[in-house]
Amino acid sequence: MSYLKIVFFGSFQAFSPVVLEQLLLDKNLQVCAVVTTPPHPDKRGKDAQPNPTHILALKKNIPLVMPAVLDNKAAAELNAFCPQPDYFVTAGYGKLLPPAWLSIPKLGALNVHFSLLPKYRGANPAEWALLMDESETGVSIIQMSSKFDTGELIAQSLEPITPTDTRQSLYEKLYLLGGLMAPAAIAAHATWKESGKTGASETQLRAHPANIKLFLPPQTQSSTATPYARRLQKKDGFIAWSNLEKVRLGETLDWSVLSPTLQALSQFQPFVTSNFIVTATRALGGFPDIWTIIPTTKGDKRMKILSAATEGTSLQLQKVQIEGKSPAEWNQVKNILLK
């Protein structure tokens, strides 16, 4: 089989390039174009900055397409760089490809999703898996459909979640796993499309570093009881200081007083506990963070809870960050700041 022409779609921080790097390492694949989001100003309004996927494509001299909208004009631009690609491969792109785009590649449009579908469909699967206290998650490769994360399964691989995993560490592991999976899954899918066979036995793929389970012919996803892993917003990490104080004293708290994301978990965990707050600091650290508004001698201040621990049933704050200040140990600032 000659090499397969791939168009890669990705824009998720430093994670999407991890998958792109693995595709570039495979001699049977040719990444003929990269589609990513256009540069945009940073949070402080400074000049528009290219994302890491953009930077890697430039470094590797891969043609770039950066459409604000996936329309006919953007499709024509892509076709000029890479006519008749075999596959589209998305990993952390964040935009739904319209039906007209899904029909462009000859063999398929594939999405690398970072959960064990059908669990945790949506934009933030690792955060929700952590919030739900899962012991494992994984990576699924699916045929893209007209709805996010609902296409037929092609391949999956498991990834354990450790008690110390954070959002950052879990995505690092998942995107590396996805990168290792993608070339093998693409090769198996291409062979199946052309001959009706995978070209590799289940045993051979189980011996692959990513320990891949294949679903060929592709398998329709079942339903799931887990919440939709929707994109998180800043407000989702808020816990009122009065409520947080109750948890710190070992009391439980009704979920209805919390943010929308935390409320969405109420059907699975009826009360906020100190253990849950500790888990949430790992799941939401970086964005949106667990945060509150504390009364201080200089007025109300926003405070991020960067880390915490449990002592019996009570919550022990460890590292925090007051707005405008550097991270500090809670015991070093609480008596100075609090009224």
Place of tokens 């849950």: 276
Structure tokens at 116: 């064990």
Domain CATH code at residue 270: 3.10.25
Q: For 269-322, what is each residue's pLDDT tens digit?
A: 767 788 889 999 999 999 999 999 998 888 899 999 999 999 888 899 999 999
Helical segments of the chain, H only: 16-25, 52-59, 72-81, 99-102, 125-131, 167-195, 202-206, 241-248, 260-264, 274-284, 330-337
> For the chain, what is the domain count?
2
Q: For 213-229, what is each residue's pLDDT tens digit?
A: 999 999 999 998 888 99
Q: Are residues 79 and 127 in the same domain?
A: yes
Q: What is the pLDDT of residue 163?
A: 93
Q: Are residues 172 and 263 in the same domain?
A: no
CA distance 31 to 8: 7
Residue 265 domain flag:
yes
Q: Are residues 9 and 123 in the same domain?
A: yes
Residue 42 has pLDDT above 70, yes or no: no
Contact 153, 218 (CB under 8 A): yes
Q: Are residues 63 and 150 in the same domain?
A: yes
Q: Are residues 211 and 315 in the same domain?
A: no
**What are the backbone angles phi and psi of residue 96, rounded to the nearest 5°?**
-80, 125
Question: Which of 219, 253, 276 lies at the terminal end of a domain, its last residue?
Answer: 219
Question: Which of 219, 244, 264 lies at the terminal end of a domain, its last residue?
Answer: 219
Residue 224 domain flag:
no
CA distance 258 to 253: 9
Residue 204 has pLDDT above 90, yes or no: no
Domain CATH code at residue 189: 3.40.50.12230
Of the candidate ranges 22-36, 80-94, 235-249, 276-290, the one whose mean pLDDT is the lowest: 235-249
Residue 297 domain flag:
yes
Residue 171 domain flag:
yes
Q: What is the pLDDT of residue 60?
A: 98
Q: Are residues 53 and 127 in the same domain?
A: yes
Single pTM value for the model = 0.93
Structure tokens at 90: 């998305």
What's the domain range around 318? 234-337
Q: Are residues 63 and 197 in the same domain?
A: yes
Question: Which of 161, 196, 219 lies at the terminal end of a domain, its last residue?
Answer: 219
Structure tokens at 73: 């004009």
